[in-house]
Amino acid sequence: MEFQQQEQEQHQRLDIVPTIATAVDMMRASRYSETMDLLRSGLGHLLSLAERTSPTSSSLLSSCSSDTLVSLESVSLRLCEEEEDHEDEPSKQYFFGASAFGALAIYDKALRFAGETTDAIFWEGDNVHRASSVLLYNTALVHHLLGLQGPNQQRHLKKALKLYEMAIDVLHNCKKHSAVDKMITLAIFNNKGHVYCQFSELTQVQVCIDWLKSILDCCAGDFPNRDDELLHFRLTVLLWDAEHCPPAAPAA
């Protein structure tokens, strides 16, 4: 009986990297319903594993652990629209959602683990939390995009917000934080801010902006060779501050 259980768990442990990669491909093709079904299929098992690891109070702003075992990739969801090249169709403005407080750009990129990443490393320690957080983030992003187009927009946006919060809660359970965790955190708080912007909740948007600032200011050295990735978040902060922060008083 015990052998059969171990064999079943081992079978389940072979799914996570291709599951996430396939889900991202489906997102790029706007196959959102299928994407959510696929992500849900892996999420329950991952979260149950994550719960076996005791939460810690470690800070995402602490220095990175030196033994990072996973590599993260971001995949633009605008590529399929560009490839289809429907010149007669209006531009989809939902990627930059305007609100009463101006525009905050959505981070419209799904996350997946790099091709050389093997499934075996996800089934122990902090990597369980990282994989769970990526699954939750991608599921939230599906609801987020659905909430900016078509019917039931508010319901999808509220669901996205809840899932983003779950993703960050799971990530906080890591005992040691890496640059991968901080990239996930930047994406989550950027998009939480975008959702709050749709609801015109300025105070909550500012909380998200402050998180972006904290990570970008304190952890810049943790992101070698990712300047292009960080540019989106830096511009988000700069544009928000330019519109909402009062200019400094002139020196006497």
165 falls in which pLDDT band (50, 70, 90)? very high
Whether residue 121 has pLDDT greater than 70: no
- Please indicate, yes or no, whether residues 120 and 227 belong to a single structural domain of this protein: no
From 175, 248, 247, 168, select the one nearest 215 (Cα to Cα): 168
- Residue 141 pLDDT: 95
**93 found inside a domain:** no
Angle at 157 between CA 78 and CA 132, to 5 degrees: 75
Domain holding 204, by residue range, is 192-245
Question: Predicted confidence band at 158 (pLDDT cuts at 50, 70, 90)?
Answer: very high
pLDDT, average across residues 164-186: 89
Average pLDDT over residues 167-185: 88
Q: In the chain, pLDDT over 90 holds for what percent of residues? A: 31
State how many domains the chain has: 2
For the record, the structure tokens of 8 come out as 């079943």
Q: Which has the minimum average pLDDT: 27-31, 111-115, 135-139, 197-201? A: 111-115
Q: Which of 176, 205, 228 is the last residue in one of the domains?
A: 176
pLDDT at position 188, please?
A: 97
Calculate ∠ Cα 67-114-136, nearest 5°: 90
Q: Is the pLDDT of residue 239 over 60?
A: yes
Pairing of strands 96-99, 102-105: antiparallel
Closest C-alpha among 241, 150, 151 to residue 193: 241
Domain boundary (150, 176, 202) is at 176
Indicate whether 102 belongs to any domain.
no
Residues 123 and 227 in one domain: no
Same domain, 46 and 149: yes
| Domain end (from 176, 200, 229) | 176
Please report whether residue 150 resides in a domain: yes
Same domain, 133 and 208: no
Distance CA(16)–CA(112), nearest Å, equals: 10
**What digits encode the pLDDT tens for the residues 40-69?**
877 876 766 656 554 554 555 555 444 445
Look over the chain and give the mean of its residue pLDDT values, rounded to a whole number: 75
Looking at the structure, do residues 120 and 238 belong to the same domain, yes or no?
A: no
Residues 34 and 128 in one domain: yes
The Cα 28–Cα 142 span in angstroms is 10
Domain contains 86: no
Sign, Cα dihedral of 205, 197, 166, 133: negative
Q: Within a domain: residue 78? A: no
Q: Assess if residue 91 is contained within a domain.
A: no
Calpha distance 152→147 (Å, rounded) = 7
